[in-house]
Amino acid sequence: MNLRLLYPSIFKNVAADYFGLTGRLVQHEESLDQTMAWIRDSFKATNDGGSSAYYHLFNGWQSSYPETTGYIIPTLLEYAEYKNDSYWNELAITAGDWLLEIQFENGAWQGGQIGNLNEPRVFNTAMILDGLCALFEFTGDQKYLNAAKRAYDWLIEVLSTKGLWEKFNVSNGGSFDLLSVACMYRVGQYYGEPDILLQKIVDAHLNFQDDNGWWSNCNFKASFENTALTHHLGYTLDGLLIIDEIRDNHENLRIVKKTALKLMSLFEVNLRLPAFVTPDFLPFYDLNKQKKTFSSCLTGNSQIAIVFLKLSLILNDLRFANTAYKLIDFNVSVSNRKYSVTGMDHGLAGSYPIYGNYQKFQYVNWAAKYHAESILIAIDKSKKRKRAE
């Protein structure tokens, strides 16, 4: 046993999750402020312009993560507008300038965290496009769009003839790369890029969906075989909705709705979303198969909530909104904890319980980002995505 488990704050955290104890259910706005304070601390922890990938219960703050720093930027800008506080705008600009400093000559960004020797990575590079486009729209500074275009060109260059990213990619061409395509659409808007090429990439990835709404190749290769991680399902479904938002149509709505209905039923039956989902949309019992216990992925909860909120607007279907609010409330209840330890205070873990199989014993910055975004959308303070009329 790691003796640090006996530290009061860590023991309190693990014990609370083990016994199913949650924090006080605060208002969404309060949870948003707490989460953004954690994100602020993740930047302060590295002092290089990037956001720390995560706070590990045993090893503390880790180095900056370019990918997630990139897609935290739009959330910083939206929060700045919501709070009328320029501090967050300045933090976003600092993050963007740091990303420009570490961009590879070929236009890509590395996978993983700073300090690790990592090759260029497709998904990581694509996610940063979202932040650079947001900074260009906010500042009008062409340098952000120029960097995004260089990355866009590299992503096209390494695309396989199948329309998949089979190299420089941990998924070897997974369904969740649909969000990569969505980020490319954002850049393409400014350069008049032909829709035909990007649509071919979308079509290639749609082949991963089965007739029942299941998505294959929607998890890490080294994870549980033949399961989908809700975090990656969130990437996949929101990627399709963002593409529709940019193109001002609902061509992918039927595809998204098919999966979303299954996930909504899965939540209503189990009162939680499992971290890992089987092809017949049942929980994968990653904690104990005999006792039928499973962990939840808090990032996935927020991402699916975002998808549900968007579907509720498009379809005028309150079922999706109600389920979204329940998912957000769950994340609020398990993150509304104060331990008097920077990095733990009001952080969102990779898994619930924190010893679950996704990002075990870690508070991750991407969980914080998506929790904040889900609340901004829920309280109607998100302008990053075009809303349905």
User: So where are the chain's domains?
Assistant: 3-378
According to the model, what pLDDT value does residue 373 have?
98
Q: How confident is the model at residue 88 (pLDDT cuts 50, 70, 90)?
A: very high
Helix spans in the chain (H): 8-18, 28-46, 66-83, 86-102, 122-139, 142-157, 178-191, 195-206, 230-247, 253-270, 298-315, 318-335, 365-378
Torsion of CA 50, 56, 59, 64, to 10 degrees: -10
The torsion angles phi and psi of 55, rounded to 5 degrees, stand at -105, 120
In angstroms, the CA 23 to CA 330 distance is 10
Q: How many other CB atoms are there within 10 angstroms of residue 210's CB atom?
A: 12
- What b/e sequence results for 247-282 when a residue is b if at least 16 CB atoms lie within 10 Å of its CB, and e otherwise? eeeeebbebbbbbbbbbbebbeeeebbbbbbbeebe
* Whole-number Cα distances in Å, 136 to 21, 144, 145, 210, 359: 43, 6, 6, 38, 32
pLDDT digits over 307-324, tens only? 999 999 999 999 999 999
Q: How confident is the model at residue 6 (pLDDT cuts 50, 70, 90)?
A: low
- Tokens read off for 386: 């075009």
What DSSP string runs through 346-381? T--BSEESTTSSSSTTEEEHHHHHHHHHHHHHHTT-
C-alpha count within 13 angstroms, C-beta hemisphere, residue 241? 26
- Tokens read off for 203: 């079509």
According to the model, what pLDDT value does residue 3 have?
45
Please tell me the CATH code under which domain 3-378 is placed: 1.50.10.10
Q: How confident is the model at residue 19 (pLDDT cuts 50, 70, 90)?
A: confident
pLDDT digits over 109-124, tens only? 999 999 987 899 999 9
pLDDT digits over 249-305, tens only? 999 999 999 999 999 999 999 999 999 999 999 999 999 999 999 999 999 999 999
According to the model, what pLDDT value does residue 171 have?
78
What DSSP string runs through 333-344? HHH----SSTTT
Which of 269, 243, 256 is closest to 386 using CA atoms?
A: 243
What DSSP string runs through 29-48? HHHHHHHHHHHHHHHHHH-S
Quick check: 385 pLDDT over 50? no
- What b/e sequence results for 172-188 when a residue is b if at least 16 CB atoms lie within 10 Å of its CB, and e otherwise? ebbbbbbbbbbbbbbbb
Looking at the DSSP bridge assignments, the partners of residue 54 are: 364
According to the model, what pLDDT value does residue 222 have?
77
Task: Say which residue, 43 or 225, is predicted with more confidence.
Answer: 43
pTM of the predicted protein model? 0.95
SS3 (DSSP) at 144: helix
- Tokens read off for 334: 């398990």
Q: Which 3-state string (H, E, C) describes 55-83?
A: EECCCEECCECHHHHHHHHHHHHHHHHHH
> Is 329 buried (19+), middle (13-18) or exposed (0-12) by CB count in 10 A?
middle
Whether the Cβ atoms of residue 287 and residue 20 lie closer than 8 Å to each other? no
Whether the Cβ atoms of residue 120 and residue 111 lie closer than 8 Å to each other? yes
SS3 (DSSP) at 242: helix
In angstroms, the CA 366 to CA 348 distance is 9
How much of the chain exceeds pLDDT 70, in percent?
96
Q: Average per-residue pLDDT in the chain?
A: 93
In angstroms, the CA 332 to CA 354 distance is 15
